[in-house]
Amino acid sequence: MGTAMTRDTLAQILDQALQDVTERTAGVRLNQGEHILGDDLCTVHITFDQGFDTSLTLCADTSLLARMARNSFHEEAVTPEDVEEFSKEYLNVLCGKVTGAIYRATQSDVHFGAPVFYHGRYEPEGQEAQFVLTYTDEHSEGAQLIHHQVPSGEGKADGTDRREQIR
């Protein structure tokens, strides 16, 4: 495994990747800032299963994800299944961009599992939020990208420390 990555560096990588992928795939420009998410939310969660023992959660207003899906599919209407499929693929593309940037910065191979979609807000069990990037768009719809990690001092069953190399 390569060198450690600071929290600020990872946050910058995530922010750049999210803004780029969102604009390219869905034609939506998101800006970082304070935003309170509404009550109608969807969450997509993905776990990094090699390289870093962390996960990412994208929690967004359902209306934002539906608009992004409509833009991406070039359709005037989308079904809830379309929103789910788009959201999972969107997070896959985002994580692909993130893993490439992490490799360039640390020479660490990072792999992630399959994304899982949830209606409402989802919080991964046994992990805590290391940081939250909050976004809003021109329609006052919002999203949060949350980086989770295993709390400091918790270990795997084999006794090794589960914290990744992000400080």
pLDDT in the model for residue 105: 87
pTM: 0.86
Whether 167 shows a pLDDT value over 70: the answer reads no
State CA 147 to chain mean position distance: 7
pLDDT in the model for residue 117: 98
Confidence of residue 162 (pLDDT cuts 50, 70, 90): very low
pLDDT in the model for residue 156: 44
How far, in Å, CA of 42 to CA of 160, rounded?
34
Tokens of 127: 């992990």
Q: Using one digit for the tens of pLDDT, what is the confidence trace for 18-61?
A: 999 999 999 999 999 887 898 999 999 999 876 567 899 999 99
Q: Which residues of 71-93 are buried (b: 16+ CB within 10 A; e: fewer)?
A: bbeeeeebeeebbbebbbebbbb
Percent helix, strand, coil in the chain, to 5, is 35, 30, 35
How far, in Å, CA of 113 to CA of 124, rounded?
14
pLDDT in the model for residue 157: 42
Q: Using one digit for the tens of pLDDT, what is the confidence trace for 85-129?
A: 999 999 999 999 999 998 898 888 888 999 999 999 999 998 999
Q: Of 7-16, 18-27, 44-53, 157-166, where does mean pLDDT reach its minimum?
A: 157-166
Bridge partners of residue 146, in order along the sequence? 57, 132
pLDDT in the model for residue 41: 97
